[in-house]
Amino acid sequence: PGPPSLPLLGNALAVDVSKPWVTYKAWGSQYGNLFYTRLFSQDNIIINSEEVARDLLENRSYNYSDR
């Protein structure tokens, strides 16, 4: 899940350019520790928790290393 986006811009207008982490923190409170955004034509997965980041990037890295 993630915030609703506009057709071509995605979520680019909703993110504060000078402090994007503030926007991501607010969205994390609403959508959870792992959510999807689209900025222009770039897909982004935001990880908002150290625990989730460690689990995905360290403990499960063998699942994703061939991609």
pLDDT band at 61 (very low <50, low <70, confident <90, very high): confident
Distance between the two ends of the chain, CA-based, in angstroms? 23
**What is the pLDDT at residue 57?**
85
User: If DSSP codes are grouped into helix, strand and coil, which group holds residue 38?
Assistant: strand
At 60, the pLDDT band (50, 70, 90 cuts) reads confident
Task: Measure CA 63 to chain center.
Answer: 20
Q: pLDDT class for 2, splitting at 50, 70, 90?
A: confident
Q: How confident is the model over 45-59, as a mean pLDDT?
A: 90
Q: What is the pLDDT of residues 16-30, one digit of tens each?
A: 999 999 999 999 999
DSSP secondary structure string for all residues of 21-64: HHHHHHHHHHH-SEEEEEETTEEEEEE--HHHHHIIIIITHHHH
As given in the structure block, the two tokens for residue 19 are 């402090």
pTM: 0.76
Domain residue ranges in the chain: 12-63
